[in-house]
């Protein structure tokens, strides 16, 4: 969530930046600022009352000790009135604070000023394109036919065991999964990220820390008996390692990554766009996360973008990078680049990675801070990106690299698969 301090000091800029999302936040921002002034006044009043009560209590203690019981009892009577006032002021101050909090959490992150204005996906800007869209042979097939033809994925079997969206990978299909995971992990490792194997379930505090709770509760599988949530992405456990942590400025950048399965309920999805591997309830992903000094976080965002570019290039897939417009960005992001790989047989772009800078939005909830060189404690910036999510990469690999005789495996992947062709 946006920090109160930011709104206090940069009211107009906050409104300007939120407008990039197509959101007129004037009223909310002004209400926050006004309530803040009111709350501080109330707090001052409450605290001076408490101070009075504290010094009175001290006095009473001293009187009792020196045997002046009568005087002590006389003072005791005075405290009753203070207690009354305390209670009322406390309630009022709490209410004001709750109001500020509710308003603050209702606001999405302020986009960076250079984020394109816009409300719809059509207003996203393509900032980079790479690779030729292949011309496929006559009778080229979409991936959901290829996976069946070459016995790579058994969707029906997954249906039987669990349900739709939980495919079973078989034989070379399973091996391809493992190969991609290892390839992505090795690439991230070489780029300087430390690998983690994280729990696949998290508690509510972690869900809150990265912003899945309370708003997106319905998107996660919830194990109610133990009140744990299946992670929708490794971002949740990895980022939450740093919840309530104060790091030192010289530790930046903190680069973490990990492979996990991801679980998403995807309530409300339907139709052809969820066919095959396009949208699943369980899928594999390698996630990269960085924690960085505010001054350097946008350089880091570029660096992460380059990393993902490298992966797609090595996999010989045609892709493009979109700079998301304000209105198409996630709630918590200040700047997001989406990577889309081209699915030739489906003739459409599939999102396969999303790299974002959250600035202090997540750190504020997480209480993830650092001690700056000036000795002050400040909120750090968090960034993350998929590097990469498997299903749509598999879809694109199969479709784009298909030949009449089978599927070619890109050279970079062959050491991991152990085969260079699927037939």
Partner RNA sequence: GGUGAGGUGGGUGAGAGGCUGAAACCACCAGUUUGCUAAACUGACGUACGGAGUCAAUCUGUACCGCGGGUUCGAAUCCCGCCCUCACCGCCA
| Residue 347 touching RNA (CB under 7 A) | no
Dist. CA 285–CA 288, nearest whole Å: 10
Residue 28 Cβ vs RNA, minimum distance, rounded to whole Å:
18
Nearest CA to 284 out of 390, 407, 157 is that of 390
Write the DSSP string, 71-93: HHHHHHHHHHHHHHHHHHHHHHH
What backbone torsions phi and psi does residue 201 show, to the nearest 5 degrees?
A: -125, 145
> What sign does the dihedral 267-271-272-276 (CA atoms) show?
positive
- For RNA, the binding residue among 174, 246, 249, 411 (CB under 7 A) is 246
Nearer to RNA, 51 or 125 (CB): 51
DSSP state of 304: H
- For RNA, the binding residue among 19, 33, 50, 168 (CB under 7 A) is 50
Nearest CA to 7 out of 101, 91, 96, 94 is that of 101
- For RNA, the binding residue among 9, 24, 48, 217 (CB under 7 A) is 48
Q: Show the binding pattern over residues 137-176: x = contacts RNA (CB under 7 A), - = does not.
A: ----------------------------------------
- C-alpha distances (whole Å) from 125 to each of 18, 196, 320, 328, 423 are 18, 34, 10, 11, 39
Dist. CA 327–CA 19, nearest whole Å: 9
- For RNA, the binding residue among 26, 31, 64, 241 (CB under 7 A) is 64
Residue 17 Cβ vs RNA, minimum distance, rounded to whole Å:
21
3-state SS class at 285: strand
Q: Show the binding pattern over residues 1-40: x = contacts RNA (CB under 7 A), - = does not.
A: ---xx------------------------------x---x
- For RNA, the binding residue among 9, 27, 61, 129 (CB under 7 A) is 61
Nearer to RNA, 48 or 269 (CB): 48
> Which residues from 374-403 bind RNA, rule CB under 7 A?
377
Nearest CA to 352 out of 343, 344, 336, 340 is that of 340
Nearer to RNA, 290 or 364 (CB): 364
- For RNA, the binding residue among 31, 33, 56, 200 (CB under 7 A) is 56
Dist. CA 224–CA 213, nearest whole Å: 15
> Which residues from 69-98 bind RNA, rule CB under 7 A?
76, 79, 83
Residue 102 Cβ vs RNA, minimum distance, rounded to whole Å:
16
Nearer to RNA, 44 or 194 (CB): 44
| Residue 47 touching RNA (CB under 7 A) | yes
- For RNA, the binding residue among 54, 120, 126, 347 (CB under 7 A) is 54
48: number of CA atoms within 13 Å, CB side?
5
The C-alpha R_g of the chain, in whole angstroms, comes to: 27
Residue 58 Cβ vs RNA, minimum distance, rounded to whole Å:
6
Write out the residues near RNA by the rule CB under 7 A: 4-5, 36, 40, 43-44, 47-48, 50-51, 53-58, 60-61, 64-65, 76, 79, 83, 246, 369, 377
């Amino acid at each position: 969530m946006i920090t109160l301090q930011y709104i206090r000091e940069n009211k107009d800029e906050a409104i300007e930046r939120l407008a990039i999302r197509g959101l007129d936040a004037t009223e909310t921002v002004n209400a926050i600022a006004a309530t803040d002034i009111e709350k501080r006044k109330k707090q001052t009043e409450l605290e001076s009352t408490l101070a009075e009560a504290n010094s009175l209590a001290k006095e009473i203690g001293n009187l009792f000790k020196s045997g002046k019981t009568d005087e002590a009892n006389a003072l005791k009577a005075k405290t009753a009135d203070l207690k009354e006032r305390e209670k009322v002021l406390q309630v009022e101050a709490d209410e004001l604070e709750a109001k500020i909090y509710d308003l603050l959490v209702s606001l999405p992150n302020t986009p960076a000023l250079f984020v394109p204005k816009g409300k719809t996906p059509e207003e996203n800007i393509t900032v980079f394109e790479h690779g030729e869209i292949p011309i496929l042979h006559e009778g080229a097939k979409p991936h959901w036919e290829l996976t069946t033809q070459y016995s790579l994925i058994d969707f029906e079997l997954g249906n039987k065991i669990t349900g739709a969206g939980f495919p079973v990978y078989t034989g070379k299909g399973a091996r391809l999964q493992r190969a991609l995971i290892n390839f992505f992990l090795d690439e991230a490792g070489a780029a300087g990220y430390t690998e983690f194997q994280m729990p696949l379930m998290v508690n509510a505090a972690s869900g809150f820390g990265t912003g899945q709770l309370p708003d997106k509760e319905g998107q996660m599988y919830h194990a109610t008996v133990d009140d744990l949530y299946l992670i929708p992405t490794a971002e949740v456990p990895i980022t939450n390692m740093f919840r309530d942590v104060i790091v030192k400025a010289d530790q930046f950048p903190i680069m973490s990554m990990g492979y996990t399965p991801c679980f998403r309920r995807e309530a409300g999805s339907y139709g052809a766009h969820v066919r095959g591997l396009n949208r699943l309830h369980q899928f594999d992903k390698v996630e990269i996360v960085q924690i960085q000094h505010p001054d350097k976080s946008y350089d880091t965002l570029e660096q992460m973008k380059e990393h993902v570019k490298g992966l797609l290039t090595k996999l010989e897939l045609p892709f493009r990078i979109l700079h998301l417009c304000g209105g198409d960005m996630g709630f918590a992001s200040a700047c997001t680049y989406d990577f889309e790989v081209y699915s030739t047989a489906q003739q459409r772009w599939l999102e396969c990675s999303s790299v974002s800078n959250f600035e202090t939005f997540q750190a504020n909830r997480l209480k993830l801070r650092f001690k700056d060189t000036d000795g002050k404690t400040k909120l750090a910036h968090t960034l993350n990106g998929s590097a990469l999510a498997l299903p749509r990469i598999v879809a694109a690999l199969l479709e784009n690299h298909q030949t009449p005789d089978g599927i070619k495996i890109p050279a970079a992947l062959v050491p991991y698969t152990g085969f260079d062709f699927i037939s």
